[in-house]
Structure formats: C-alpha cells, structure tokens
Structure 1
Amino acid sequence: MVSRYCLRLAKALVLLVLPTVAPAEEAPRFVLPVACELGRDCFIQNYVDADPTSSSRDHQCGTLSYDGHNGTDFRLPTMAAQRAGVEVLAAAAGKVLRRREGVADESVRGNGGASVKGVECGNAVLIEHADGWQTQYCHMARGSLRVEVGDQVEAGQPIGRIGLSGLTEYPHLHFIVRHRGEIADPFAFEASPNACGGGRKLWEPALLPLLEYRPRSVLNAGFAAASVSMAALEAGDTEQKPGIGAPALVAYVRGIGLKAGDLQTLVLTGPAGQELAKHEAQKLERNQAQSLVFAGVRKPAAGWDRGTYRARYRVLRDGNVVLERDFDIDLK
C-alpha cells in the first residue's frame, strides 16, 4: 500500500514539472468617452474600418466607415451644441502620455486638409492603460484640455470638450483604441476576418443597450420659418421654433447613414389632420453620410389655424420602413 506521504510527494513532483500557464490578459471595460446621450444629444457617425482592402465596412459589414478609418466618431448634431460644451471623458483609468493644444476649431470644408497637415488629430490626448492598451481622443476644442502629461486619470474623468480642430468637417470626438500598438475596435475586438458582428465588445456591460448598432439615424429634426440649408442646420441656426406669425412652416430632417436604394418621405399635416405638404425624394443612388429633406407651406391669407402641426419622416427600403421619426409643434 502506498503511504499518504508518498502520494503527497508524487503530486508535488507532478506540479514541479507541469508548465506554468500565464493568466490571460484582461481586456479593459471602457466607459462612454463623451458626456452626452447617444441617439439624442450625440450619434455614432463612423466606426473602425474592418476591411483591409481599399474598400470599407464597419464591424457589422455595414456602411458606417470609410477606407482607413481607425476609430469611432461620436458626433454632435450642431455647432450650437458644440459651443454649449460637451465634455470628453477618459474611457478608462490610466496615465496621460501625450497631449496637444492650440489647434484652431475650424472646419476643413473650406480650407482643405492641407491646412491641418501634421495636426490631423487636432487638440488631443493620449492615455496609457495597463497591459499595453492606449486610448486617443482627437478634435477637442482649443483651450478645453484639462489634463497634463503625467497626470493619472480615472474612468469617466473629464479631460476636455468636443471641438472642431484638426481634419474634420463637423464637431465630433474621434476615439481611437490601440493594443500593443495595433488598432483595436472596441465594438469587435479580435473579430475574425470578414466576420459580421463578431469579436468582443470592450464597453462596460451597462452601456451595451445604448451602443446598439444603428445602421441609420435621424441627426436633426424640427421646424423652421423658412427654407433650410445644410449650413444653417450645421450651425444650429434653425433651433429657434417658429411662432403663430411665421411667414412659413417648414419641417426638416437630416438623416445619417442612409444607403443606396433608400427612399425618404416627409409629410406635414395641420391641426385637423389635413395634409399640408409632402416631399418624396428620389431613391438614393449611392450611400450618403448625411441627407437633408424638408417639406413646407406658406402662411395662409387668413393666418395659421391654432393647434398642433405634425410631421412624419420615413425611410423605406424595398417597401419596408427602416427609419421613422414623428415630431410636432404647437402654434398658439
């Protein structure tokens, strides 16, 4: 019979010769890097480009990316929202490795990309985290940075504000994640090549419902007293609601992420439910990052009927509604 001492000795010898297995590295769990409500105050315009060729696709094999895009774009709906101030937050605890300040908040739509050569990221912060992880925050507002190189930051700590600095045409945060120097998609980390919806999400679990993938979104919707331009909408000049004396009533919608083949309709109705105006756009011939439609009517000779005016916006694809927004205004 083998003694208990011999059994214990044998087990100890086995443990000595077994290879040591290093524990797997824990991927970080990021908090939202912007202090806004997704789908209402801010929107995801673009994701990391998951296509290694000259084409592009997002992690769901959708159109919300472009060739070589290496981060996630959290967009504000207007420059008025940017001027009001939306904080950029550290996505995880870490140490500030680098920062840049002093780049002007100017859209490159007029000046072109050459005007920001070498400072494409604009006012920016780079944070180092444990186990080879880094996060980078681009296009922040000039004069808004609240951290210095060497600072230790906590998850959710404000580090600046969303701006329009660097290579950008609209106010947004370009959020980049790297692991050991390689770009990592926080929506699809370690996804298999050509996978649609694969990989691991690196966000705090409570955020996942808010971060649900939306192939199309309504960026702006409202009413104006005159025709609406993309420039006025971007500036936030349409945010003042028309009153009972308005010379016209115009419903407008700006959609983002629209696809080739989408059909947009916008119908304006009066207090009695009567149709006042309708706009039915041509089917889109190509994917569009953003699209503006509006429908309006001039003030009747007898003036506006008092009551609630309603607008219904729909995007149809193959006869099915894929995006819808109802909104109204009271004229008293």
Structure 2
Amino acid sequence: MRISTAKKYAIAFCLTLGLTVLVSCWSPDVTQTAESSLQQAQTMAQGITQQLITQTQNPSFAQPIDCKLGQDCFILLYPDRDPSPNAVDFGCGRQTYDGHKGTDFAIPDEQAMARGVPVLAAQAGKVLRVRDGIVDKRIETEADQKAVEGKECGNGIVIDHSSIPNGTGWETQYCHLRQGSVQVKPGDKVEKGTVLGVVGASGLASFPHVHLTINYQGKVIDPFVGPAATAGCNVTRNPIWEQSFAYIPTGLIRAGFADQPPTMNELWQGKFNQTILPQNIPALLFWVQVYGVLTGDKMIFNLYDPQGQKVLNNENFANESSKTWIGYVGKKNDPQQPLTPGTWKAEYQLIRGDRTLVKVERQLQLE
C-alpha cells in the first residue's frame, strides 16, 4: 500500500495529537507524570515524522543484476559498517571486509559469466563515466592485486540520478563488468532496468560479480540501512532498495562430484560440474562450496552407493571462519573393490546451533 507525502505528514500529526489528547485526559494528581508522558509522546511523534520525511526524500534502487537471488546468484559481500580496522555488515555478520563500500551480487562461476548475466541500471539517470577494456582475471596473488592498482573497479559505469524525483546528489557505480560488454557511453540517458553490460571479473575481483556502490552527496550509503543510519550494525534501518532482500550471510555457492580434490580456483572456473563420470575414475569425491562459514559450524557429509547403502559419513566442525569455503569427502576406486556403476547420491548439511542453514543433495551416474 502506498501513502502520499501529504498523508504521511497528516498521519504523523494525528499521532502527535492523539497522544496529546490521551495524556490530557489524566487526572491532576498525576500532572507531572502526564507532562513527562506528553513530552515522550511528542518526541516519539517527531521521530516518526522525521522518519517519514527521510523516507520520502530517498529514491529507491532496484537489483542491479538479472538473476534470481538464492537460485542463480547471491549476495556474497555487504558494505562495511565499522569505521575501525575491523569489519561488520549491517546484519552484524562478517560477510564484508574493512573498507568495502558496496554490495557484491555474485554468480556461481566463470561458466555462468561466459554465458552472460546482464548488469542492470538500478534507477533511471544519466551516464557520467564508463571504462571498458580491462581483462577479466580473478585476483589470486599479491602480484595480481598490484597489477590493478588504480583500476580496482575494472570495467565500470557511474550513473547520476539527478533527473528522478529526489535524485539530486545520488549516484550509482557498477564495477567488474566483463571486458567488452559495456553498452553505454557518457551522456546516455538510461531507464531503470536498462542493460549496462554483463557480469565479469575485471579489476580487483576474486570471483565473478557486480559490485554496486551507492553514493549520496559524495558519501557512500549502505542501501540496507539508508543514509540516516549511524555507524555499526545495531541501527535503525530504512533501506532504500526497491524490493526487500533477505539477509542470508551463509549459503551454498555450488556442489557436485569430482574425480580429484577440487581447489577454490577450479570451482570459480566452473570445473567439476559433471553429472556422469566413467567407472574407472581414480576416486569419487563429493564437494561443496559455501559462503559465510563461522567457527563451530557443524558439517555433515553422507555418501550413498547405487544400492542405497551409506558408504561414508563424515561429521566435523569448522575450526575457523571463512567468507568462502570448500569441503569434500570421497572414496578411492580400489581395484580389489571397484566403485559400483549406477546412481550415487550425496548429502551435505551446515548446522549452526539448532538451525540448518545449508542442506543440499546431489546425484551422479557412474558408467
């Protein structure tokens, strides 16, 4: 339900009046208490009024990537809300790092990147600056990081939103687009949802994603709490997203089978996505790639043979926190007891306290 600006102010005024009338009906014997309550009521109403005014002054911004969160994309990192060298995201979690200024909408791997996932304008406006031509190379070493100094955004776009209602002073920046994909130029007018390019891994990117930074009057704004929020995570939230995003600090990136231990680099490349493998492989491994693992998280792996027999059960606890994590279990292909052909099944759970945060099942045909 939408409420007009005039109605919002009227509601706030009525709240003040209603609370005042309620207090004025109390007996003279409690005059001091009544005056105190009236002052509290007026302060509360002023706060509500200010909140409504703040909300009407802020534009809203749409998801900047054409995908379904939780299905073929996910938010991996959030803006850092801690001004100290420490880091915390708006949900009081650790899916950020010191000085991180934007929201990272990630895709599973480079194969998805190659297929092309559109980056969209989060709101209408005018293109101010663009850059293209930076190679897509995920950062793996300090030398890689040094090579992109001064070009950390990679292929990117900056849009000014002064043309929309309450948009004066607001800008959005889109980083790490795929080389050669930028479809706009300075001076172009775009609408909300206009395709700007596709997701890449250019600049200071260790995984394929689009990094969205929202600025107001030159100041970075965390879109999950709004421009009026103070530092830290225990703050009043007035998000400026057009839609509501669930806070999911822990989740699945990918899972599958392999015939050898996978590395993080190989998984970001998109390797080990087969659903059929030959019977003569050296080993059968079930792997998972997860984000937002915390110390003490319980990991449960189960592997079942084609007869439905549980041939492997592994339960352990994470000994350290990790923004991205991989784990795997498996069975060697012993010539004396070769792997049975047929459909193998595997399960994985990540449990934190009494909550199961990740639960996944996969199947593989061994031929």
Equivalent residue letter for 1:252? W
Structure 1, unmatched stretches of 5+, are: 1-22
Q: 1:258 offset after TM fit, Å? A: 0.6
Instruction: State which of 275, 284, 296 in structure 2 corresponds to 1:249.
Output: 284
Q: 1:246 offset after TM fit, Å? A: 5.0
CA distance in 2, matches of 1:174, 1:265: 33
Superposed CA RMSD in Å reads 2.2
Is 1:93 matched with 2:124? yes
CA distance in 2, matches of 1:197, 1:61: 10
Is 1:186 matched with 2:216? no
Query: What whole-Å deviation, never above 9, does each CA across 1:52-94 have from its counterpart, x for those lacking one?
Result: 1111110011111111110001112111111111111100000
Verify the 8 A CA contact 2:102 2:214 in the aligned structure 1.
Answer: yes
Equivalent residue letter for 2:89? D
CA distance in 2, matches of 1:217, 1:154: 32
Aligned partner of 2:71 in structure 1 is 40
Verify the 8 A CA contact 2:275 2:365 in the aligned structure 1.
Answer: no
Of stretches 61-70 and 228-237 in structure 1, the one that deviates more from structure 2 is 228-237
Is 1:114 matched with 2:146? yes
Equivalent residue letter for 2:158? L
Query: What whole-Å deviation, never above 9, does each CA across 1:195-249 have from its counterpart, x for those lacking one?
Result: 43731122223xx2xx211121111111223332222212112112233535233
CA distance in 1, matches of 2:318, 2:235: 26
State TM-score, norm by structure 2.
Answer: 0.77
Aligned partner of 1:137 in structure 2 is 174
**For the structure 1 residues 246 and 26, does the alpha-carbon distance in structure 2 shift closer, same or farther, using more than 3 Å as the test?**
farther
Q: 1:304 offset after TM fit, Å? A: 5.1
Report which of the two has the higher share of helix.
Answer: 2
Instruction: State which of 241, 245, 248 in structure 2 corresponds to 1:203.
Output: 241
Alignment of 1:304-315 (within 5 A): 305=340, 307-315=342-350
CA distance in 2, matches of 1:159, 1:319: 43
Q: How many residues align?
A: 306
Aligned partner of 1:285 in structure 2 is 319
Verify the 8 A CA contact 1:263 1:316 in the aligned structure 2.
Answer: yes
Alignment of 1:68-107 (within 5 A): 68-107=99-138
CA distance in 1, matches of 2:352, 2:133: 45
Instruction: State which of 172, 178, 200 in structure 1 corresponds to 2:209.
Output: 172
Equivalent residue letter for 1:113? Q
Verify the 8 A CA contact 1:108 1:115 in the aligned structure 2.
Answer: no
Aligned partner of 2:45 in structure 1 is none
Aligned partner of 1:6 in structure 2 is none
CA distance in 2, matches of 1:182, 1:239: 42
Structure 2, unmatched stretches of 5+, are: 1-52, 162-166
Aligned partner of 1:161 in structure 2 is 198
Equivalent residue letter for 2:357? V
Verify the 8 A CA contact 1:246 1:299 in the aligned structure 2.
Answer: yes
Equivalent residue letter for 2:58? A
CA distance in 2, matches of 1:197, 1:276: 49
Secondary structure of residue in 1 paired with 2:63? coil
**For the structure 1 residues 194 and 170, does the alpha-carbon distance in structure 2 shift closer, same or farther, using more than 3 Å as the test?**
closer
Aligned partner of 1:323 in structure 2 is 358
